[in-house]
A and B are shown apart, each in its own frame.
Chain A
């Protein structure tokens, strides 16, 4: 007997595509979406949209201010750093790094969290107890300290930073998934699938996972901002990305020494982080209200 939840909506007449699209996008925060789109374009097409090579030094342009300042030029819209590297080019390439780190880190953390969360919630018993205490332990370790500890142990490289982010983030996914599994497990279609003699892994994959996916997508989106800030923090401390990589956190660390003379070195990369995280969070809140109203806060 095939038991599936899919196909139930298909029984009723579906409204036309345009109407469904309009309904699906109701209340979409336009400004935030626009900014996220800009961020994605900058990140994905960085080498093509960037006005300069982000590593190219030009001592004649050293510490040039943004164009609206006196002495600023249109050649370098957001000014230059101490080595005369174009700030706009570096912000664009920084976006690329932030996007790379957040996609891979959240993907990895989510995957580990899903597997362990399903194992804990579905199998239960001693395995559940063990996994959940491990989750508690990871949630108890202060986030940045733990990340620093792992970076110290593994060393700094893009791959290691991603692994560290995943290590420090998986626990919340595991907890979320376990909670969802416990409620989904009680539902009739899971019981039916079991009666029908389907193997456990198949029930988990076919019936439980699709039902917890919305919550995971919501948490994942809301985590993008966290990961961006964490990567920037680590890089700022000198324990994340290393030059010649371009990271917003590194730009801030570099700019710090010039704070009294060149404010744009610290202000602009910070604003890039703030605006990106703000937009992603606003979009994530909207997504949560649409997909997973139980987590709603506002």
Chain B
């Protein structure tokens, strides 16, 4: 157990290191930030001075090292556009994105788990066929278009719900449905197949023979066995949600990281882009780590 945790921690750390390298490389690819920071009439001397200030005259490994050590202490530089520390921008926007992702995850789970389980237990029935259609359709629907259609129907035509913002609780309904829809479909599909696997496993057959009531078999044994792939998959879906939030936020003018990043890219405010990508990726890595540790505790047989 201890060795497994250690190994998994080490793996996550190495992966995180690679993530920082990718993000750092991204920043180098964008070219010279002084072009964006200085007015066009700036002299070469001004440029050199600014480069020196930003540490851009140092060697690439040195720059990377500075970037890492600053990032570790939560210093992501200053936003070109807002002239405030990037950390503060992220700190004000991140909670909104996490709220959207968590609410969508809750919605997806509440719909998908019962649907997937019933669908597996009543294989071939009307409910099963509906559930499979729901999953197939959900996986093919672009999140941002679903958002637009929800606005068109519930905000424009029926005028029931607000189309944008985060002020009132009701303004959360449409973005959460738009974002959670895809994950609901994906989780329902996986729940169904995991439950089918579990129901066909030897021990469930054995328990049937031993005369245990069906609901005990389903709830206590089959579901427990199916839970591991489902929980892993849900952690992966959380990454999908964080990613999908970028587009959903744009559609619903939701003040999260996604809106911030899109604006930052359009304005070429690179420190913000860099920090947002890095923070979201690390968050996702940590969620996956937590899931792995959780299910190794749930089922001690699981090891890499």
Contact (Cβ within 8 A) A141 B277: yes
Query: Any chain A CB within 8 A of the CB of B174?
Result: no
Residue in B141, B190, B192, B243 whose CB lies within 8 Å of A145: B243
Q: Is the interface of B mostly helix, strand, loop or mixed?
A: helix
Inter-chain contacts of A238 with B (CB < 8 A): 262, 266
Nearest B residue to A141 by beta-carbon distance?
Answer: B281
B233 to chain A, nearest CB (A): 11
Of B16, B148, B189, most buried by chain A (CB within 10 Å of CB) is B148
Query: Once the chains are docked, how many angstroms separate the CA of A134 from the CA of B15?
Result: 7
Q: Which of B96-140 contact A (CB under 8 A)?
A: 132, 136-137, 139-140
A225 to chain B, nearest CB (A): 6
Inter-chain contacts of A142 with B (CB < 8 A): 239, 242-243, 246, 277, 280-281, 284
Evaluate whether A149 and B18 lie within 8 angstroms (CB atoms) in the complex, with A142-B243, A277-B140 already known.
no
Contact (Cβ within 8 A) A270 B145: yes
Inter-chain contacts of B277 with A (CB < 8 A): 141-142, 145-146, 149
Residue in B26, B140, B148, B156 whose CB lies within 8 Å of A150: B26
Query: Any chain B CB within 8 A of the CB of A237?
Result: yes
The segment from A56-64, A180-188, A197-205, A256-264 found at the interface with B is A256-264
B268 to chain A, nearest CB (A): 7
Query: Any chain A CB within 8 A of the CB of B230?
Result: no
Query: Any chain B CB within 8 A of the CB of A36?
Result: no
Contact (Cβ within 8 A) A274 B193: no
Residue in A134, A236, A263 whose CB lies within 8 Å of B144: A236
Evaluate whether A229 and B136 lie within 8 angstroms (CB atoms) in the complex, with A238-B266, A252-B148, A297-B190 already known.
no
Contact (Cβ within 8 A) A281 B140: yes
A237 to chain B, nearest CB (A): 5
A151 to chain B, nearest CB (A): 7
B133 to chain A, nearest CB (A): 10
Contact (Cβ within 8 A) B280 A145: yes
Evaluate whether A144 and B244 lie within 8 angstroms (CB atoms) in the complex, with A136-B11, A149-B273, A263-B152 already known.
yes
Query: Any chain A CB within 8 A of the CB of B228?
Result: no
Contact (Cβ within 8 A) B140 A278: yes
Evaluate whether A152 and B268 lie within 8 angstroms (CB atoms) in the complex, with A282-B136, A297-B189 already known.
yes
Query: Once the chains are docked, how many angstroms separate the CA of A144 from the CA of B140?
Result: 17
B134 to chain A, nearest CB (A): 12
Q: Is the interface of A mostly helix, strand, loop or mixed?
A: helix
Q: Which of A102-154 contact B (CB under 8 A)?
A: 133-134, 136-138, 140-146, 148-154
Nearest B residue to A278 by beta-carbon distance?
Answer: B140
Nearest A residue to B146 by beta-carbon distance?
Answer: A270
Query: Once the chains are docked, how many angstroms separate the CA of A151 from the CA of B140?
Result: 24
Evaluate whether A153 and B281 lie within 8 angstroms (CB atoms) in the complex, with A144-B244, A145-B261 already known.
no
Contact (Cβ within 8 A) A270 B149: yes
Nearest A residue to B286 by beta-carbon distance?
Answer: A140
Inter-chain contacts of A277 with B (CB < 8 A): 140-142
Contact (Cβ within 8 A) B239 A140: yes
Contact (Cβ within 8 A) A143 B243: yes
Query: Any chain A CB within 8 A of the CB of B179?
Result: no
Query: Any chain A CB within 8 A of the CB of B265?
Result: yes
Inter-chain contacts of B192 with A (CB < 8 A): 297-298
Contact (Cβ within 8 A) B148 A133: no
Query: Any chain B CB within 8 A of the CB of A193?
Result: no
Contact (Cβ within 8 A) B14 A133: yes
Query: Once the chains are docked, how many angstroms separate the CA of A43 from the CA of B136?
Result: 24
Query: Any chain A CB within 8 A of the CB of B276?
Result: yes
Contact (Cβ within 8 A) B239 A297: no
Nearest A residue to B236 by beta-carbon distance?
Answer: A139
Inter-chain contacts of B29 with A (CB < 8 A): 150, 153-154
Query: Any chain B CB within 8 A of the CB of A241?
Result: no
Residue in B11, B26, B145, B189 whose CB lies within 8 Å of A133: B11
Query: Any chain A CB within 8 A of the CB of B250?
Result: yes
B18 to chain A, nearest CB (A): 3
Inter-chain contacts of A138 with B (CB < 8 A): 22
Query: Any chain A CB within 8 A of the CB of B30?
Result: yes
Nearest A residue to B240 by beta-carbon distance?
Answer: A143
Query: Any chain B CB within 8 A of the CB of A232?
Result: yes
B198 to chain A, nearest CB (A): 14
Inter-chain contacts of B262 with A (CB < 8 A): 148, 237-239
Query: Once the chains are docked, how many angstroms separate the CA of A138 from the CA of B148?
Result: 30
Of A145, A154, A237, A260, most buried by chain B (CB within 10 Å of CB) is A145
Query: Once the chains are docked, how many angstroms separate the CA of A238 from the CA of B277?
Result: 18
Query: Any chain A CB within 8 A of the CB of B151?
Result: yes
Of B15, B145, B189, B246, most buried by chain A (CB within 10 Å of CB) is B145
A/B interface sample: 24 pairs, CB < 8 A: A133-B11, A133-B14, A137-B15, A140-B239, A140-B285, A141-B22, A141-B280, A142-B281, A145-B246, A146-B277, A149-B274, A149-B277, A153-B29, A232-B142, A232-B144, A233-B143, A236-B247, A237-B262, A238-B266, A239-B262, A270-B142, A274-B142, A281-B136, A281-B140
A interface vs B, CB < 8 Å? Answer: 133-134, 136-138, 140-146, 148-154, 225, 229, 232-233, 236-239, 252, 256, 259-260, 263, 266-267, 270, 273-274, 277-278, 281-282, 296-298
- Nearest 10 A/B pairs, CB to CB: A137-B18, A270-B145, A153-B29, A142-B243, A278-B140, A277-B140, A136-B15, A152-B265, A297-B193, A143-B243
